[in-house]
Structure 1
Amino acid sequence: MIKRVLVWQWGRRGGGPRFGLNLAQAIDRLPGREVLLCLSRRAEILTAPGFPRHAMTVWQVETYGNLSGLLLRLLGAPVVIPRLLKVLRLWRPDLAICAMAGPVDLLMASALRCAGVPLVVIVHDALPHPGDGFPFQHTLQNILIRQAQGVVALTHHVASQLREQAGMQEREIVVASLPPFDYPAMQGRAIPPVIRPPGPMRLLMFGRLLAYKGLDLLLETLKGLSPVSDYECRIVGSGPDSDVLRKLAALPRVSVENRWVEEEEIASVIGWADVMVLPYREASQSGVGAVAVAAGKQVLATRVGGLEEQFAGLPGVTLCDVDVRALTDALEALILAGPTVSEGRTGQTDILWETMAATMLSDVEHLRHNQETSQEEIVVVPSS
């Protein structure tokens, strides 16, 4: 049985460290499991209010701050790997889980191989999204996957994309779910406000402001709304300056905040909204959507990639085709219906994460058993 689990995620900001933390906390709550959470010493989440510093063991590793730092870290592998190996031999995990792949994870994979610790990689995106991530990040992820004993996808959509890649046709892929991201639970408060003052419908598009997120679809949708539609729309996140963002900012009742949102501010940004709008042209799954679900917000998303699978059966979620007319009709219907009052799913998220973690570990144990049985069935015939 897997008892001691190392969960690592070496991102500095964004959803990766949050996913790693939530997963580690969920495993730690399961009976008979112990967790070591490994984060980058530069991770923004470490200084966020309410970080559970004393509730679990956290191993901080120096990573990098920029591209030159990344290259130096990779060149320093002969020094870095023995340091990682020393901690691994002291803690002796039964399994290591890469919560979200990054540029320097091959250093940890090498140390794990030396320590004889099985590696499982959770794959969020099987294929790169345009403009997202470091150059060659998916090449490094593919190398990491091929070194792993287990692969986990967060939707069947991603699993299918993985199976189409070279060398993956015969690999068994575990499919897990993406539970809601409960930012307020970590900060010790509910997302405000539960009772909002009267006013226009509040629409929010939040996250990386990249073309594949459907910024052009949102622009045409907002331009096509009825003149009597009562709403205000915030577009908040970071991305390259573009013509479509400038056109969105020029629309009445629309504001564009092209900036990085710090960890401690996310709850208040999400709390402002009535509807989270996800007009994506492609998607594996959505961390932003998971945050919105945890907060009890209405979600309007396009029926693309793994979104339909992620949101299937969830209350307050409207799915539509990747089409301006369909998105406009759906948004107008939500604006006409007006805001709904919800207390979110703060009390349920722990259970959902525990269920996901327990199921994933069970599937991984089954996968390892199959691999060991398969190896035992190999008969070596001595030469005459």
Structure 2
Amino acid sequence: MLNRNKKVLCVNLGYCSGCVYYANSIIRNLTLEKEVWISNSCIEPYEFAEQKLKVAPGKLNFLWQSLLFLPWYSLKLFILILLHKYDSVIVFGPHGWDFIFLMLFRLCHRKAYYVVHDGIMHAGDDDIVHQKLLVLAMRIASNHIFLSHYVQALVTDKLCISKPYVVIPHGIISYSNNREPICEYKKKPVLLMIGGISYYKGINLLIESLPLLNFDSIGEIIIAGSFAVNVPQPDISKYTKVRIVNKYLSSEEFDAFVRKSDFILMPYLEATQSGVAAVSIGYAKPAIVTKVGAMEEQFGTAAYYMKSITSIDLANAIHYAISDPQKYIKIRSELKDKCDELSWSSLSQKLSEYICDK
């Protein structure tokens, strides 16, 4: 018999992006008795959190808040664990405090589940301190929750960390209930790169491919999302059909851009799993993507794959994708099927059962 009376503490100290969307969606649908602690700086917070911790982004904030607030939170949690308020914890990473919450539960001989998105930070996003804290958290946790088998293998092979684990893939991301007809295809489609624009997402590859594209067959190319501090905004002044929106997108803005688009551009230089792939699936917008990380694990055959990571192959993949309406309709149909498979209720049910069995 599954014991669904176990009380689980869910900790999510993220601020924004797909990691927070994943955490919120899993927590909402967990069938276990739970309590939720989140950051008070979260842009899209879980609505019914019992505790909002004083945590804000930035290295200086991390330092002074670790000195001022973390000892109090740690003491409070330690007492609550000793009073048997919680049976286990799920920490939705990554954050520099993750290892503290995991360690307190391990010291009290409780299960400590850690959600590992990447394991090894992406090129351009890597930070030695955060990487070390991430590795420390993975080593302390009693169990891992991965989003893909690719990341599980990466952590085992590259970091030599092996713990009992379960794979709970990224469910769909959609801010809209509107569903467009599968048969719809524009003669001049809109191509979209969306989300945080980091180096590893291949923004340079996209810019290098622009001179190779036939814009007579393209309605518009939109690059929407805030650029990382180490990624300069490119000069696109000579391309009238290319638009950059360099800002953090609200849910409404994000939804509007995706619904306007016909293809999602994902010329990633590297990847684990991807929240943008979950967007492609959630909105049934076919992606043009490189075969890196867990992209094939997420998409299966429901994507247009580049032959290699070059600007020429990106341009070729775009031309191929926009020239075959029947292929486009077929892939959209496959994405809609995947959308049904990756519902958050079924994913959370799988996680609930995994925790109840332990």
TM over 0.5, yes or no? yes
User: Distance in 1 between the 2:91 and 2:187 partners?
Assistant: 44
Matching residue of 1:304: 292
Contact 1:236–1:258 under 8 Å retained in 2: yes
Judge conservation of contact 2:10–2:37 (CA < 8 Å) in 1: yes
- Equivalents in 1 of 2:180, 2:82: separation in Å? 45
Distance 2:230 2:131 in 1: 25
Amino acid of the structure 2 residue aligned with 1:102 = H
* Residue number among 51, 73, 85 corresponding to 1:59 in the alignment: 51
In structure 2, what is the Cα distance between the partners aligned to 1:275 and 1:34? 40
Q: Secondary structure at the match of 2:217?
A: coil
Q: 1:350 to 1:92 in 2, by over 3 A?
A: farther
2:8 is aligned to 5
> Where do 1:20-31 residues align within 5 Å?
20-28=23-31
Q: For residues 5 and 357 of structure 1, what CA distance do their matches in structure 2 show?
A: 13
Instruction: Report the TM-score, using the length of structure 2 for normalisation.
Output: 0.84
Measured at CA, do residues 69 and 266 of structure 1 come closer, stay the same or move farther in structure 2, by a change above 3 Å? same
Residue of structure 2 in register with 1:358 after alignment: 349
* Displacement after TM superposition at 1:345 (Å): 5.2
CA contact (8 A) 2:8 2:35 kept: yes
Tell me which structure has the larger Cα radius of gyration: 1
Note if contact 1:38-1:58 (Cα within 8 Å) is conserved in structure 2.
yes
What is the match of residue 267 of structure 1? 255
Structure 2 alignment gaps of length 5 or more: none
Q: Distance in 2 between matches of 1:194 and 1:115?
A: 53
Alignment equivalent of 1:145, drawn from 138, 143, 157: 138
State the 1:86 CA deviation: 4.8
2: CA distance, partners of 1:229 / 1:243: 29
Give me the whole-angstrom Cα distance separating, in 1, the residues matched to 2:22 and 2:305.
24
Matches of 2:182 and 2:124, distance apart in 1: 36
Match of 1:373 in 2: none
Q: Does 1:175 align with 2:167?
A: yes
Alpha-carbon spacing, 1:99–1:283, altered in 2? closer, same or farther (3 Å): same
Deviations 1:92-137 (A, max 9, x none): 3333112222112233224434554311111111211122265521
Compute the TM-score of the two structures, normalised by the length of structure 1.
0.79
Change (3 A) 1:35 1:202: same
CA contact (8 A) 2:172 2:339 kept: no
Counterpart-to-counterpart distance in 2, 1:215 and 1:276: 13
Q: Any idea what the Cα deviations from partners look like across 1:267-287, whole Å, max 9, x if unmatched?
A: 122222111110001000110
Change (3 A) 1:106 1:73: farther
Tell me the equivalent position of 1:382: none
Residues 202, 6 of structure 1: alpha-carbon distance in 2 compared, 3 angstrom cutoff: same
**What secondary structure does 2:207 align onto?**
helix
CA distance in 1, matches of 2:242, 2:179: 23
Equivalent-residue separation in structure 1 for 2:252 and 2:127 (angstroms): 25
Matches within 5 A, 1:146-225: 146-168=139-161, 170-184=162-176, 189-190=177-178, 200-225=188-213
CA 1:224–1:103 in structure 2 vs 1: closer, same or farther (change >3 Å)?
Answer: same
Q: 1:216, 1:335 → 2: CA distance?
A: 21
- Pick one of 304, 308, 312 that aligns with 1:325: 312
Shift of 1:177: 1.7
CA distance in 2, matches of 1:279, 1:272: 20
